[in-house]
Amino acid sequence: MRNPLADLTIPVLDDLIESDYVRSLIVGTVGVLGVLLVFGALFPETVVGDLSGIVFSTSTAASTSRLAAPIVLAGLGGIFAEKSGVINIGLEGLLIISAFVSVYVASVVGIGNTVLGVPAIWVGFLGGIAASTALAGVFGVVCIEFKADQIIAGLAVWLIALGLAPFMSTVFFGGVNTPNLGARIGWRYSATMVVVATVASWWALNRTAFGKHLRAAGENPKALDTVGISVSKVRHAGVLLSGVLSGIGGSALALSIGQFIGSGETMVQGKGFIAIVAYLFGNYNPVGTLGAGVLFAGLDATQIRLQQLGYAVPDTLVQTIPYVVVIVVLALVGRTRLPEAAGEHYETED
Amino acid sequence: MSRSDGGSADGSGSDRVPSIARRVVTPFVDRSVAERLLISVAAILLSIAVGFAIVLVSGRVAQCSTAAWTMPVTGLGFCYDPFEVYLVLFNGALGYPFAIGEPGLFDPSWTPFNLSFGLTLSETTLLIFTGLSVAVAFRAGLFNIGTQGQLVVGALATALTVLAAAPFLPEGPVAGAVLIVVGTLAGAVGGGLWGAIPGALKAYADANEVITTIMLNFVAANVAYVLVLEVFRAEGSSVVATRYVPEYAQFLPWLFPQSSDFALLALLVGVGFIAGLYYLVEHTSFGYDLRTSGMQAAAAEYGGVNAKLTTVRAMTLSGAIGGVGGSLWVLMSEGRWMASVPDLGFDGITVSILAGNNPLGVLPAAFLFGLLKGGALEIGFRTDVPTELVGVLRGLIILFVAMPEFFRMFGRYAGIGSSGPGGSGGSESSAANADDDAAVADGGETDA
């Protein structure tokens, strides 16, 4: 019998137009940066010079990687979930819960103490990942076992975390913001984790049997079922992975400052939604997601630095760019194609 | 409780256990509505139970000098009293009509026209509009997460229109009425246009409306913020806000205290909208187009419905209702547009889902959320429990309502349990019936 999986088309790699799209994004970004570098070197006393100085400075790199970590990591998680057929719109909630729990666990252990030789801040980091994974697990059960509407359940995950994190912060610390830990994780760690996670995700999605199963669960679950692999299990794995990756992102976000801020939209401030933007913009390609995440975070970091130099940049408008970009991209450039069976429940035929 | 709700929701379970609920409900509503109702009630009860557990656990972990509540038998002390939390939440939201710890059930000095109840109804009024906005789109098969953005745009349009038009009219009640009407229309147009964008993108560019509406929420909030910050900011204001609209152009708080930000007239307008939309969706040809393209787009197209145009119209209508919600927020609650717009649009999603996307269900669902919002303030005043608890409850309710299959599975499980031989099942089933009656009582209020 022929393997039904052999007939699956893999949109990201096989579709020439799609890969052209990612390639043109990369070329465009590199091109703009190159022009900026050349003009910056030629006219160092102008705005371009300042801009070039900012874009290619270490401090901008540091803040870019700090801002990009939650976006890219949650975006990668979103790819795993959505490729498996579960649209995870609750990434924002996963980031919030891991950001809070990481700080909480680190403060419970106490900075300076270790658990089994692991310093408190890294114990907190793991705690954040565990919390996010647990919440993603609940989301997975609700969506896959109880057949909940994925969009609504995802919104619920966001709203629960948005209420629960400040609630717990008030219970434990007496205010929606936690006190500062007095210790933090350097930006080089975040940058390394982002790059490693991107490469690993790409490899897992495109070069492993698991990746193939994951894509099959989202594109053609029946085919996967036919070869005797449980669609539910694969989807659970996809959702849990989105929890793990978002957990890394949320912990990195909070611990790079050493504090959780829970007022308003919390310190996550829509980064989970930007993550969705990033992976749609990157067309479900981890490398594209990294590019989009760095681009958005870089815009933000550059804007912050420009303001520090005294340029009146409308910061709110700069922060609006990613959202507008994704609408334009969805409408005009690449009609990002959702996996065929994403959002649908799959019933095993016994 | 949830097991009985699920039990009667499940057909085979109720064959064995003849349910009073079924006999009462069936003549009035079709089964799916009854099932939805039961699931909504079960979801609320389950959320309250989970919230209870959260209060209990966090009360154990939090540190305080004296225990607010001691658990019987075990003697464990807790910092928060979970019973008190819910008492304060629901009783407080109504302005304490129930006398607690005193003789008599009702407090004789209570009147409905008190501050707390006014705040609750104010929230209810606003949530009616955002809930209707989401519900209308849902009926057309569109998930409008963008009501928040439509509300922001509508509110700004209202504030700016009223501020611009006010100088041309002589002060007075007539001018006030004109300004309110014009301002509300401006809100409807603003919200409608903002809603038409994702509608058109969905219809003609195949862009997923979930994504575009989420993005447009951020765009609306940011652009409105910058506009007010740079152009329309009131002089000397410490927050980013427009000037106040004239006093006479705001809704008058009949009977209720001024500070409750509630106007009975606005609530009546909301109820009118509910009736109007119910009629529109269920009894007009546009409503028919809307529903069929929501259920079966291909079939609707075959039947001569212009599905693309219907999509745009539905989103425009949805946005316009959200925009009117924004108008009321300005003309009833705040008196001006200010940057910290509350999450009314997101709550509207919860309201609509809880209402089963039925315009008639929006009224009780909005009232429930109004109670939660009003009660949250009281929790802040009267207890040590963080008011964010209400946010958690909101999330839990939406989560549980989203998983009807859970209750059906539970119902099947309970159905098997109560079909046991003889008397052992009897007590369970009678208890189940009692609970169903409670659910029906809620349902009666729903349709009234």
Tell me if A110 sits within 8 A of A120, measured CB to CB.
Answer: yes
> Could you tell me the residue ranges of all domains in chain B?
2-81+395-447, 119-366
Q: Give the integer Cα–Cα distance in Å for A265 and A267.
A: 7
In the stretch 131-170 of chain B, residues with CB closer than 8 A to chain A read 143, 145
For B223-258, the pLDDT digits (tens) are: 999 899 888 888 888 888 888 888 887 877 777 777
Q: By the CB < 8 Å criterion, does B61 face chain A? A: yes
| CA-to-CA separations, A280 to A18, A153, A220, B2, in angstroms, rounded | 12, 20, 20, 39
Which of A155, A172, A323 faces B215 most closely, judged by CB atoms?
A: A323
A204 vs A197: CA distance, rounded Å = 10
> ∠ at Cα A160 (A88, B364), nearest 5°?
105
* Domain range A4-331, CATH class: mainly alpha
**How many CB pairs (< 8 A) connect A and B?**
140
Whole-number pLDDT of residue A51? 67
pLDDT band at A2 (very low <50, low <70, confident <90, very high): very low
The residue type found at B227 is: L
* Distance of alpha carbon B135 from alpha carbon B138, whole angstroms: 5
Judge whether residue B43 has pLDDT over 50: yes
Residues 6+ apart with CB under 8 A from B234: B241, B242, B243, B244, B336
What are B286's two structure tokens? 């546009």
CA distances from A249 to A85, A292, B351 (A): 22, 16, 31
Per-chain mean pLDDT for chain A: 81
Looking at residue B28, its pLDDT comes to: 40
Distance from CA of A43 to the nearest CA of B (A): 32
d(CA A267, nearest CA chain B) in Å? 16
Name the helix (H) or strand (E) containing A118: strand A118-119
The answer to whether residue B229 neighbours chain A at the CB level (below 8 Å) is yes
B102 pLDDT tier (thresholds 50, 70, 90): low
| CATH code linked to domain B119-366 | 1.10.3470
More confident residue, B46 or A174: B46
ipTM for the predicted complex: 0.80
One-letter amino acid at B421 equals: P
Q: How many CB atoms lie within 10 A of CB B35?
A: 23
Cβ separation of A142 and B403 shorter than 8 Å?
yes
DSSP notation for A249-307: HHHHHHHTTT----STTTTTTTHHHHHHHHHHHTTT-HHHHHHHHHHHHHHHHHHHHHH
The rounded distance, in Å, linking the Cα atoms of B29 and B361 is 13
A242 compared with B102, residue with greater pLDDT: A242
* Number of residues in chain A: 350
Burial of B240-256, coded b for 16+ CB within 10 Å and e otherwise, reads bbbbbbbebbbbbbeeb
> Is B392–A167 a contact, with Cβ atoms under 8 angstroms apart?
yes
Reported as a single tens digit per residue, the pLDDT across B47-100 is 888 988 888 888 777 767 666 677 766 667 777 777 878 888 888 777 777 766
Tokens 């607690």 -> residue: B100
Distance CA A304, CA A298 (A): 10
Average pLDDT, chain B: 78
Task: Say if B46 is an interface residue toward chain A (CB within 8 Å).
Answer: no
If one counts every other C-beta atom within 10 angstroms of the C-beta of residue B397, the result is: 29
Q: Would you say residue B448 has pLDDT above 60? A: no
Give tens-digit pLDDT for B293-314: 777 777 777 777 788 888 999 9
The reported pLDDT for the residue numbered B433 is 40
The structure's pTM equals: 0.80
B384: closest chain A residue by CA: A171
Contacts of A149 in chain B (CB under 8 A): 402
B205 touching chain A per CB within 8 A: yes
> Angle at which helices B31-61 and B344-354 pack, to 10 degrees?
130
Q: Which two tokens stand for residue A222?
A: 């029946």
pLDDT at site A249 = 93
